[in-house]
Structure formats: structure tokens, C-alpha cells
Structure 1
Amino acid sequence: MTLPVVAVVGPTGSGKSELGIALAQRLDGEIVNADALQFYRGMDIGTAKLAPTERQGVGHHLLDVLDVTQEASVAAYQEDARRIVEDIRARGRVPILVGGSGLYIRAALDRLEFPPTDAGVRSRLEAELATTGSAAFRRRLREVDPASAERIDDDRRLVRALEVYEISGRPFSAFMPRREYHQPAVQIGLAVDRAVLRARLAERVHAMVAGGLADEVGRLAARGLRDGRTASRALGYGQFLRVLDGSMTEQDAVEDTIAATRRFARRQLTWFRGDPRVAWTDWHAPGLVDRAVGIVRQRGDIS
């Protein structure tokens, strides 16, 4: 029997890490990180990364694998996560994905093919776009991929769609993911009342600041944080880089981080609520771990 991949999903601040630990202990599992920002070494406070002592002896994978100057790649994550999942299964244990980065979750779980890329083709198309304009590019895309031309609303993605078509001969829309697991999987979503979540997120940001977020950003700035396309835009980190630069007060950085985190949580909820395969349970329900284990055993058909 193939052990299912268990994924614990939901908005930031909903307790995914804690439930992941508890499930790993109950199901003899190991955790595979699916939070794109927890890939980065040194980004600990602002990503709520569990310290080694908080992991309670449970094996964790794909934490601290990138420097802040490196760019996270969904395609690379797919390859790494699937390899680690198979290794965990080969040892008779249950792989447990934990995180709120929806595309990374789907990359690990679903039949998802990534379109090819070519920096030279992309550079040439960007130069052409600057000369001809967006309207001409959209007409060009409409001839070969009307579905993408209708959906795409920014220049960067127009270029990307034409790049994919030029390289592969296939429309960009042909690479859209399907909600179809490539191997057995169970997704558990943690639901939080919106008012409660708003309050929790504000408290969380204040706790991060009290815990030394500004100092963490300062240390990472010395290691090239500003040069990292992914890491420098992370919630809290971008704001406190501006504090370091003198263009924002710390109080404004805190308020901006709270607002941005709440917006991010809403986007996460929209993403995960759109997937009918997610089994939702209240984050604070009595017997949460027992409920989650029951979902895994029922949906994953394991004893």
C-alpha cells in the first residue's frame, strides 16, 4: 500500500506547524516544509520558523536550504519535495507537507507541468515589448493563445506567455494545473474565524518585533537581503529594510506589516477554499489532533 502524502494547509497564523508536529508524532511521520520563505537561512523570526528545540524530535526537510540572495523556484521545489517524499515513504513513514504557499503545495501534490523558459528569448521579447507596446503584444498572443490573452492583465505575463509558445510551440494555457493528485494525498485545512485571525495576526507581528525582527533584518541585510528578489519582499522584511534605510518609522513598519499579513491571509484562504479536496476543521476545536488523524485514516485509507 502507498502511504498518502498528508498536507496541512490554511492561512498564516492558524497553527499549521503545531498540528504538523502532532500528526507526525501520531502517524510516525516526517515534515516537508511548504512555506517558501522558510527555505531561507536566517529568516527565522519573521517567518515563525520553529526552532530545532520546538520540533520535538520530528524530522524536518527543506528548511534553511537557500541564502537570502537566491530566488525560490517552484519547479526546483517540486523536484526536491517529491524526492524527499519518496525517501520518507521508502522508510515506511508518512510524509507531511506543512505550509501556506499554495502553489508549492500544488507543485508537490498535483499533476503540474512547468512551462519551459529561456532567458535569451525572454530578453528579446521584453525589448520588443518596450518598442511595440502592450496592445500589439496582446494581439500577437491572441493569435496563438486566446485563453491566455483573455486572462493575462500585465506585461510581464504577456512576455512569459509568448516566451513559452515560442520555445515549446504550445500555448501557455496548456500548462495550467489540474486538481488531480499525482499520488495519494490528503489535505487538511485549518479554518479560523476571520475576526479571530485578524487579531492573531496583529499579535503575531507585535511578538515578532518584540522578539528581535529588526535585528534579524539588519543581520540579513549585511548578507545581501536587499539583493534577494524573493526574500527582500517577504512580509516584515521589506518593511524593516525601509526602517533601516530611514524611509519608514518602526511604528509604520509594524502597521504596514500587519495590514500586508492580513491581505496575504485572505489570499491564502481564497486559494485553499477554491480546492474542494481540502478537508476543513476548526483550528481551535477540542480534539483537533484526533479529528485530523481521523481525516487522514479515512481519506488516506490507512489504519
Structure 2
Amino acid sequence: MTNRPEGDARAARNERREAARQRAQRARTQQKRRQRGTRLGLQIGLGVVLLAAVAVVTLVLVDSVKPAGPGPSTMSQGGITIGEGLSPVGASPTPDATDASDPVRITMYVDYLCDTCAQFEDANSEYIASLVDSGAATVDIHPVAVLTNRSQGTKYSLRAANAAACVADRSPDQFYAVNQALFARQPDQGTSGLTDAQLERLVTGVDGVQDAAAIRDCIRDQTYAKWVDERTADVTGGDIPGSSLDEFPGPPLVLVNGKQYELTAPITNDDFRTFVVSAAGASDATPSPTATPTPSASASAG
């Protein structure tokens, strides 16, 4: 005789087991789906992050190789040429020009944070000004920024060279006087140097400076900073207009008719006068070593 209650109980247990197995199977399936979704989400998120990182790196690289743009039109070769009347003239002459009727060519590479540059300026600036003003010589002044890392992170050397370029662009007739003023107020190396506001007051305070508002904006915006940086890299890499040198000895580099002047210690005007006359040779433009200096332009700064 069949025991139906017992069979029914066994069948019920089997049904429960099957139902439990199916629930477990569904749970595992759902868990796998969730895991796949999570992995897909992570992969998509990681892809987005990687794409964003690539975009940022690309922008940085593009910005880093972006051309610096043209410098002032008066500094086509990186320096401004000052001639008779202390006014800018055309492009800087080449070092191998030998026409005896030409004025003596003085070429200077200077850094406005360079101590030795300031010493040379103090000893010889007025003498050079007298030669140039009279037409006996021209002077090419190339501001460079090789000491940018010696001003507590403020990049004073670069900012000062940019300020000089701003003047070359907007008020070139006063460039020589501004060059003198920048050396007269030269800060010590290892200090933060002058602020942009102080540079603005110094430069625009030089007698006769024109377009002061535009110069202030140019200094504040560092309009020519990248150009100065690029020119400095070229010069230190051996591209030295006005010279036959293939290696930059550091500032100040002073040349007369392409011949390098070896700095003395101490730097004296007598020694430089002698060198100028010697480098000029038998040229009709040979300057007198006793030329009377012209007064320097005054400047005010805060």
C-alpha cells in the first residue's frame, strides 16, 4: 500500500530545493551582470580619465612648443641698434663689415641682474653714449636672461629684459636711457628683485619715455617674455648675432667691430677706450679716446 503523505512530503521538499536552486541561479546571474556592469563602468570611467589626461598633456606640449612670436620690430636680431643722436637705426650690422667709413660697431649682450654687466655699465656707459651720440659709433644692445633663476623664483632677469623689449617697441628713442636706468637700480642677486609695479615706475619715469600706458601693460602682461627666453636659449646655444663666436661666454659679452673685449679686473674706462681705438684700427671712424661723455638721462623709480 502506497504511503501518499510521505511521497507528497518528499515531492514538496524536492520542489523547495528546485525553487531554492533556481533562486540561487538567478542571484548568481544577477551578480555576474552587476559585476560586468561595474567593470564596464570602471573601464569607461578609466577611459574618460585617460582621454582627459592625454588632452591635458597634449595641450601642455602644444603650448610648450608654441612659437614665442615676433619680438619688437626694432630688435629683429634680438638686439636694438642705437646710432647718432642715441636714436635707433636699422638692423644690427654683421661682424665682418669692414667699410672704413662705417662707425665703430659696439655690440653688448647684457643681463640686468649681472653684477659684472653693471660694473661695465658704470665704467663705460657715458663714454659709449658720447661715441654713439656723435655718430662715431653704433651700439647694439642685446638683453638676455641667463640669470632668471637667481631671484627667489620671481624671474627678475627675464622680467627686466621683457621691460627693455617693451621700451624698444613703444619708445625706442629712450632705450639707451632706460638701459642705464635698469642698471642704476639693479637689485642684488639672490633677492626677489624689483616687482613689476616698480619696473613700470622705473621705466616710465625715464625722461622722454612715450606711450607709458602701453609700456606698463606690456610689462604687466610680460608680452615679450617668451621671446626673450627663446632668444636667450639661442644665444647660449651659440647663435650670437654680431659675433663670429660659436660659444657664448656669458654676460657681459662686449665686442668692438666683432672683436671680443676681455674684461679687466677692475673694469676701467681707460682700458676699454684703448681697446676701442685698437679695434677700430685705421678706420676713418676711429673715435677719440678722450671723447667727452654726455649727461645720462635721469630716472625716477619707486
Note whether the superposition's TM-score is higher than 0.5. no
Higher relative contact order, chain-length normalized (CA < 8 Å, sep 6+): 1
TM-score by length of 2: 0.28
